[in-house]
Chain A
Amino acid sequence: MLSPADLVTIPLDDWMNAFVRGWLVPNFRPFFRAAQVPVSNVLNTLNAFLLWVPMLVTTAAFTLAALRWAGVGTAIFTLLGFAFIDMIGYWPETMTTLAMIVTSVLFCALIGVPLGIFAARSDTAWKITRPVLDIMQTIPSFVYLVPIVMLFGVGMTPGIIATIIFAIPPIVRLTNLGIRGVRHDLIEAAQSFGSTRWQMLWDLQLPMAMRTILAGLNQTLMLALSMVVIAALIGAGGLGLVVNTGLGRLNVGEATSGGVGIVILAIVLDRITQGMGEKGLGVGPSLARLLGGVFRTRPLPDQKTPG
């Protein structure tokens, strides 16, 4: 039987090899090395800080945050869960994983929110962004691990870069969705008073979209957590490394311990960030007030506008 391959064969694998090994890596390796500096700086600082802070202080901080945003149940769970992690002996690995996740989510937000805003402002931008996000979400992460290793080397930071690629789509999508979902008559009202696009973004679109953006942040966080084990394959440490080592040695106990740590961390972070999204924007405090609220542990007093 005749098949298209008898007529033409496409050596996609060779092309890809030529592209990555022959062109991208030799020419751009220094660039990519330099690009990872801010990521590794943030990561190392955060990792060192979390390892330096005593376990009890960190646990207390998370328990209070859970109490403020997620209720008593989650607070108790946080307290017991963190104590459990410490008792099974994986506290330092958990803190390293936490540092990795916070760093990834931070960079996801720094890149993803502006990208989402940009995509929301022009249909053309969204038409280009959307398929890229689709590819990022569907492509198996193992596919880009190899080029990442080639470009960035092995270690924690390449792990974070892989995590960012994997986890960024939801925050871009939901920022776009949130901004596009602002009521049309409110947009018209803002326009009719002669607001600039920046004024409209700051006064109206971002505050109105904040709930949706925070939901996106929560999704991004969960994806980052699920990437922990895969990132460990290219040298990222933390709980992912524990799981991988356990897997390699067929040590069921070790793999399970790492897995339990990840699950506990995931539940705590999920509940707290979800609570932030819901409570932080009850009947809409302003953006500044919301951001202020993130750094407080008690309900806000009823604020009066000055003047």
Chain B
Amino acid sequence: MHPKLSVRHLFKIFGARSEEALERLAQGQSKEEILRETGAAVGVQDANFEVAEGEIFVVMGLSGSGKSTLVRMLNGLIPPTSGKICIDGEDVASCGAARLQAIRREKIAMVFQHFALFPHWTIAENVAYGLKIKGIPAAERRAKALETLDQVGLRPWADARPPQLSGGMQQRVGLARALATGPQVLLMDEPFGALDPLIRREMQDELVTLQKTLKKTIVFITHDLNEALLLGNRIAIMRDGRFVQVGAPQDIVGHPADDYVSAFVGDIDRGRVFRAGDIARPPQSVQVDASHADVLDFMMRSGRTAVYALDNGRIAGVLCHEDLVGTTVAIRDHLKPFARTRPEVKLHELYPLAARGLPIAVVDDNDTLSGVVELDDLFACLAGTDSRPAPAHPPVTAHQQTERLDAQPG
């Protein structure tokens, strides 16, 4: 399948001598040298990425890293210096003003950090703005605006004005305005950056919930790595106008590409990033009708003191080493109740299950054992000393990017 959005060799250089600056960049000069010698400021250099339909792609960077410039190039608010931006295979960067306007009206909408609502209009009028631009009759666009306001829970406020609403509510209106035109691609430029922490958290959860039904292709800009890890299917870390690392949250935290990323990742609550499936061992189990000796032998060989026993393919329970030693009671009678979880569950949700002191069963849709979370693996992963969690799926990046990233020590 074609990616919804694909960006190739995207550069933005501010200043009169941008062509010259491009050449100098190609020769390997640094951003600072170029600024000193040509007066041109490098905003974004050689950005390459693809976003699949329905994916949330988060660009994370500090201020001045070029992330806002990057997102503004995607809908042409800032014209790129060179490179391609393809939405459904059509290059936005070279399509001409009229076509760009049509794309903005039909395909791509934006949510702004400071909401950017029109203070002289009501909430409903604001939400209907994109429809008004398209020339849709007033009654129809009001109906659509109310419907969209329903989605974000603000219908009762339809006739209020923006200054009467709190920040969180205003950003819901901003989101509703972007959704009202039915765009396929949503650009969100630090949408929750201006909100209080509690409200921000609430909005993040709401976006996750909404996205389950909306399935929009989202490019989300943030300076907050926690937010990036929570929302992103994939994350690009940006510094000085270039991508330092692109990958799934688990790749970023598990295998930071360089010291810069490591420094960010240091404070992260790893229990909220990694999932049961990331650290689960392949299911090594015994049959419930096996003999004592066989089970003990199996424990010895695998180095575990507790193993799962299966009964006709179904999980029967956990067997513990200390219970089996020195008894001849049937194995069936030593089975202990067990905790089960699913591969996509985050580690922090496993803590209560782990408190029992037994390995946790990871089950698939048919409730069959697909892996086992051992408690030492859990702690090792949380401590960041474990090298086991391999990328859940290989990072999907541009070819160049992948090569460069792979060259870095993991």
Contacts and interface: CB of A to CB of B under 8 A. Distances in A.
Interface of A: 183, 185-186, 188-196, 199, 203-204, 207-208, 281, 283-286, 304-307
Contact of A307 (B110, B114, B142): B142
Contact of B120 (A194, A195, A284, A305): A284
Contacts of A192: 75, 77, 104, 108-110, 187
Nearest to A210: B120
Q: Which 6 A-B pairs have the closest CB atoms?
A: A284-B120, A194-B104, A194-B105, A189-B116, A307-B139, A192-B110
Contacts of A194: 101-105, 130, 133-134
Interface in B222-270: none
A305 B159 contact: yes
A285 B120 contact: yes
Contacts of B161: 283-284
Contacts of B114: 185
Contacts of A190: 129
24 contacts: A189-B112, A189-B118, A191-B77, A191-B104, A192-B75, A192-B104, A193-B104, A193-B129, A193-B130, A194-B101, A194-B102, A194-B103, A194-B105, A207-B120, A208-B120, A281-B120, A283-B163, A284-B161, A304-B159, A305-B122, A305-B124, A305-B125, A305-B138, A307-B138
B282 interface: no
Interface string B83-118: 000000000000000000111110011101110111
Given A283-B163, A284-B161, A196 B101 contact: yes
Contacts of B142: 305, 307
B293 to A, nearest CB: 71
A283 B133 contact: no
A185 B110 CA distance: 11
Interface residues of B, number: 37
Given A189-B112, A191-B77, A192-B187, 19 more contacts: A185-B114, A186-B116, A188-B116, A189-B116, A192-B108, A192-B109, A193-B105, A193-B129, A194-B104, A194-B105, A196-B101, A203-B132, A281-B120, A283-B163, A304-B159, A305-B122, A305-B159, A306-B138, A306-B139
B264 to A, nearest CB: 27
B148 interface: no
A193 B109 contact: yes
A185 B116 contact: yes
Interface in B136-189: 138-139, 142-143, 159, 161, 163, 181, 187
Contacts of A188: 72, 77, 110, 112, 116
Contact of B181 (A185, A189, A193, A307): A193
Contacts of A199: 133
Contacts of B109: 192-193
A304 B159 CA distance: 8
Nearest to A183: B116
B119 interface: yes
B74 to A, nearest CB: 10
Contacts of B139: 306-307
Interface in B183-235: 187
Contacts of B116: 183, 185-186, 188-189
Contacts of B133: 193-195, 199
Contact of B121 (A196, A286, A304): A286
Given A189-B110, A192-B77, A204 B118 contact: yes
Contacts of B118: 186, 189, 203-204
Nearest to A195: B133
A188 B72 CA distance: 9
Contacts of A204: 118
Contacts of A286: 120-121
A281 B108 CA distance: 33
Contacts of B108: 192
A283 B104 contact: no
Nearest to A208: B120
A192 B130 CA distance: 9
Nearest to B163: A283
A304 B105 CA distance: 27
A183 B113 CA distance: 13
